[in-house]
Amino acid sequence: MQELEIAQLRALTDLLKSKYNYNFTDYAMSSFRRRIQRIIELYKFSSFDALLQKLNLGNQEFFHEFLSEITVNVTEMFRDPTFWIEIREKILPDLLNLNKTISIWHAGCSSGEEVLSMAILLREMGIEGRVRIVATDIDMAILKKAKEPVYSVKNMELNTKNYERAKGPHTLDRYYEEKSGKAYLDKSLLKDVIFREHNLVEGQVFSKFDLILCRNVMIYFNQSLQNQVLKVFHESLFKNSYLAVGSKESLIWCEIANKFLVVNNEEKIYKKIKD
């Protein structure tokens, strides 16, 4: 297939903005292009223009399917096990030392693997009652999945390995039941988690947090949108609280870098030191 040209992608983002009020203008170009090409193949559109025409009809149902396909929902429980060791041994103890209760925001929570990892960690540390969790995503359909987590058994193999590498004290199978080739995760882990729709591009601050996790989400944005989102995170954090991004993301290239201190460079955990 021919590579989509920038002018075509621009026509598409203009349409999404005017018709659906979603702004994808500042998404990172190369991955956005691949996602669009993937949708054209998946839905067997005869051309890029055919996709454009379909979107132009204003069908909300199709738009939401499109939205689910645009966003990348590949994730793992306990992704980067050493990150979770750091959270358990350093970050949470530090926060709970100073505060009776704390709140955590999973920004771009996708199908919920990271939220579940956190919930398991909190239960194992016996501090579930002291932590409020808010999990947000742009995509309502994926939030639904996050609330009722059912994962493939194949993915659970990887999740289990990650859990072991993160020095989990039990075995992961105590948190799920296998039925007809699927793993049904223990929903009681999520009973106090607040799931809500939130588009990082819109930039609303809705609460204050002690820890924000936004790992491998901003990589899909360009530099200017990253700067904008980081401003929202900065404003949403209490002073001396933490921001975690993906292991290969960095605040170095961002405007707001000087308001954060690198706490762990390997795991990309930052502390807000200036208002």
Partner 1 sequence: MRRLFKIEQDYKAIVIGGSAGSFQVISKLLSQLPSDFELPIIMCLHRLRHVRNGFVEALNIKSSIPIQEPTDKEPVRKGKFYLSPANYHLSIELGNTFALTTEDLMNNSRPSIDILLQTGAYAYRNKLIGILLSGANRDGAQGMKMINERGGLTIVQDPKDCLIDTMPVSALNITDIDHVLNVQDIIDFLLSVDKYIKTKS
Footprint on this chain of partner 1 (rule: CB under 8 A): 3, 6, 28-31, 34-35, 72, 74-75, 80, 158, 161-162, 165, 216, 218-220, 223, 226, 246-250, 252-253
Q: In this structure, how many other beta carbons lie within 10 angstroms of the beta carbon of residue 38?
A: 12
Q: What is the DSSP string of 141-188?
A: HHHHHHHS-EEEHHHHHHHHHHHHHTT-SS-GGGGEEEETTEEEE-GG
CB of 216 to partner 1, least distance (A): 5
CB of 103 to partner 1, least distance (A): 26
Question: Which whole-number Å values give the CA distances from 44 to 14, 81, 83, 107, 187, in the listed order?
Answer: 23, 39, 40, 32, 37
Place of tokens 């292009």: 33
Say if residues 103 and 132 touch (Cβ distance below 8 Å). yes
Q: Which is nearer to partner 1, 62 or 253 (CB)?
A: 253
Q: Which is nearer to partner 1, 226 or 241 (CB)?
A: 226
CB of 158 to partner 1, least distance (A): 8
Q: Which is nearer to partner 1, 25 or 250 (CB)?
A: 250
CB of 156 to partner 1, least distance (A): 15
CB of 227 to partner 1, least distance (A): 11
Q: Which is nearer to partner 1, 122 or 251 (CB)?
A: 251
Q: Which is nearer to partner 1, 35 or 130 (CB)?
A: 35
Rg, C-alpha atoms of the chain: 19
Q: Name the E strands within 192-268.
A: 194-197, 209-214, 237-245, 260-264
